[in-house]
Amino acid sequence: MSDFNAPEDSRWDKKKPKKDGPQFPFGGPPKQGPGNSPLGGWKFTIGYVLILIMGMSLFNYVFLNRVNPTIDFSEFKTKIASGEIKRVELSDSYFTGYTTEARTRPVPLTRRYASQEEAFRTVPINDENFVKFMDEKGVAYYAVSREGSAVLNIIFSWVLPSAFFIFIWRFFIKRLGNMNGNVLSVGQNKAVIVAEGDIATRFKDVAGVDEAKEELVEVVDFLKTPKKYTDIGGKIPKGVLLVGPPGTGKTLLARAVAGEASVSFFRMSGADFVEMFVGVGAARVRDLFKQARDKAPCIIFIDELDAIGKSRITNMAGSNDEREQTLNQLLVEMDGFDATSGLIILAATNRPDVLDPALLRPGRFDRQVLVDRPDLKGREEILKIHSRDVKLSPQVDLAVVSRITSGFSGADLANIVNEAALLAVRSGRKLVEQQDFDEAIEKTVAGLQKKTRVLKPEERRLTAYHETGHALVAALTPNADPVQKISIIPRGFALGYTLQMPVEDRYTVTQSDLLGKIDILLGGRIAEEMITGEYSTGAASDLTKATDIARKMITDYGMSSRFKHVALTSRGVPGGERQEPLFQREYSEATQQYIDEEIAHIVEQRYAAVKATLTEKKELLDKVSAVLLEKETLDEKEFKALLEGAL
């Protein structure tokens, strides 16, 4: 039950990179030569032959020689005399006696016999009376020839074990290859290499960041015509760092640079360098730059640079050797750049404040390009790009959409266009209407509409007064963003919402504007108190936002009576300015007590002022709430009509 602001974080570029060209995830195409083999490049040496023979011998010993133990020949004859042995199998190697008269053949390979009989084996002795002895006892006997099973013996003893070990060998080699080629290739980089000409993205596909594109034009021009710069003695920047919030198009810009320059493109994330093995990250950095120099001119793009580039100075709890070695190797490789080699490194990060100062000095990342959220004109251009393939109704005005999406990133705008198209299909329309864009914006800002959630009459009435309180205070506050919509239809986690959208982009906020935001946030709770005489939990998020604004006014903006023009924010920057903030307080307990008391004083003061205003406008509050209860939703025109008719 609160007003919503435009989301700040998202990703812009939803398109997947083109995969038509050769992409090699293990650092490049496999080298061709006589050493290649189907077993992942392992050489066929005498060592592997010996391993194979030993494995087959072990297999034969364990599986093929599992036979029943032998007994003495005299004991064998005793069992025949006692009638325990009914049948004898005679062979060159063994005499085998069975306790049943049925001729049950042994199961191949295992020599296990049927559970109804027992077998006894003995080594034959040259006894001329043995056959006569068996005739006297009535024992059946027969001879077995081994000549016919020679082929089967070879198959079972050698062919099948060999095939089994080859299968296991190739299976594990393939698994190791999927991880990194083999166990010795963990140091190879994981960059995805896109060949020259396989990147379809161009600068015309990027909008809303015109200043950033102009900065990168020099990079493209140098890669195309380096002689123009070297003749005059100029040097192109070795590294370009793209800085900006998520979803503003940093990765898209890097691809556009590679596409415009028509050079090879190495794409890698900062997290790809770090592994559990110490030294692997540094090895991958060396391998990446070695391959890049071989393919120069080319571009190396490292996304999320802060994963390996965090400052080494502020790590008070102890160093991370693997990350520091990786960073040190990256610094060394960038220092070793030849300015005329045509090798340029691009990197992107959302947190430039945590990067190591050595990365940002001239000679490494010489140029930092800010890729910020688009302005009004930029948002309209982005909407046009993303709606090129969308069938729009002639009544759709993208300028209106760009006006009410202030603060949205490129990724947010791309998502709105897609959501509008999906909503049009869901409604059975062939064209996307303006109402689809409005619903898509509300869905992005406030969440999904909960049509099945049924509120009690008391809750609906309380919600209506709560949202009307927000809207009335917003309408009566100077310089406040106009109310776009009021609704008591649940969306997301809220039972209702008041949607405010700015008319134009604003880059500075005054003290009166901040106090006005606190007033609007408190309007909902005050309206509840005026109707029910008590408080509810519906204003929890409003109070959190109001408290945060008041705290920043005191600690960040120097807007308190005691600490005017003083910033009390904990920075913690020992050893330099570009360091990661330490989460510790840099002021006394007395100052902390003053901050807490001043926050409570500001909020209480604004609460009293807003309550006086709404008490004066009680009749208008009741009227708007009644209409809202009846219609459930009021748009900007309906709300203004109610205000003009009552004032």
Encode pLDDT of 367-389 as tens digits: 888 998 898 889 999 999 999 98
Residue 507 CB contacts under 8 Å (≥ 6 apart), including other chains: none
Is the CB of residue 12 less than 8 Å from the CB of residue 506?
A: no
d(CA 339, CA 297): 11
Band of residue 576 on the pLDDT scale cut at 50, 70, 90:
very low
Band of residue 607 on the pLDDT scale cut at 50, 70, 90:
very high
Judgement on whether residues 543 and 492 belong to the same structural domain of the protein: yes
Residue 216, pLDDT score: 87
Is the CB of residue 485 less than 8 Å from the CB of residue 633?
A: yes
Residue 314, pLDDT score: 58
In a domain, 531, yes or no: yes
In a domain, 496, yes or no: yes
380 noted as active-site residue = no
In this predicted structure, the answer to whether residue 519 has a pLDDT above a threshold of 60 is: yes
d(CA 410, CA 551): 31
Judgement on whether residues 200 and 262 belong to the same structural domain of the protein: yes
In this predicted structure, the answer to whether residue 308 has a pLDDT above a threshold of 90 is: no
Asked which of 232-241, 269-278, 286-295, 530-539 is least confident by mean pLDDT, the reply is 269-278
The CATH number covering residue 498 comes to 1.20.58.760
In this predicted structure, the answer to whether residue 140 has a pLDDT above a threshold of 50 is: yes
In this predicted structure, the answer to whether residue 170 has a pLDDT above a threshold of 90 is: no
Judgement on whether residues 75 and 134 belong to the same structural domain of the protein: yes
Judgement on whether residues 208 and 338 belong to the same structural domain of the protein: yes
DSSP bridge partners of 344: 299
Judgement on whether residues 218 and 338 belong to the same structural domain of the protein: yes
Is the CB of residue 581 less than 8 Å from the CB of residue 313?
A: no
Judgement on whether residues 321 and 468 belong to the same structural domain of the protein: no
Pairing of strands 483-487, 633-635: antiparallel
The CATH number covering residue 384 comes to 1.10.8.60
- pLDDT (mean) for 102-125: 61
Domain that holds residue 598: 457-646
Residue 115, pLDDT score: 47
d(CA 546, CA 515): 9
Tens digits of residue pLDDT in 31-49? 444 444 444 444 445 556 6
Band of residue 524 on the pLDDT scale cut at 50, 70, 90:
very high
In a domain, 611, yes or no: yes
- Residue 424 is classified by DSSP as H
The CA radius of gyration of the chain, in Å to the nearest whole number, is: 40
The CATH number covering residue 134 comes to 3.30.720.210
Judgement on whether residues 399 and 520 belong to the same structural domain of the protein: no
The string of DSSP codes covering 281-346 is HHHHHHHHHHHHHHT-SEEEEEESTHHHHB-SSS-TT---HHHHHHHHHHHHHHHT--TTS-EEEE
The answer to whether the pTM exceeds 0.95 is no
- Residue with the two structure tokens 């406040």: 480
Judgement on whether residues 438 and 541 belong to the same structural domain of the protein: no
Judgement on whether residues 229 and 135 belong to the same structural domain of the protein: no
Residue 62, pLDDT score: 57
Judgement on whether residues 345 and 393 belong to the same structural domain of the protein: no
Of 467, 528, 580, 598, the catalytic one is: 467
In this predicted structure, the answer to whether residue 157 has a pLDDT above a threshold of 70 is: no
Is the CB of residue 11 less than 8 Å from the CB of residue 141?
A: no
Higher pLDDT, 315 or 519: 519
How much is the mean pLDDT over the chain?
Answer: 77
Looking at the structure of the chain, the number of domains it has is 4
Band of residue 22 on the pLDDT scale cut at 50, 70, 90:
very low
- The last residue of one of the domains, among 370, 404, 425, is 370
Tens digits of residue pLDDT in 206-229? 888 888 888 888 888 887 887 888
Judgement on whether residues 211 and 358 belong to the same structural domain of the protein: yes
In this predicted structure, the answer to whether residue 30 has a pLDDT above a threshold of 70 is: no
Judgement on whether residues 579 and 641 belong to the same structural domain of the protein: yes
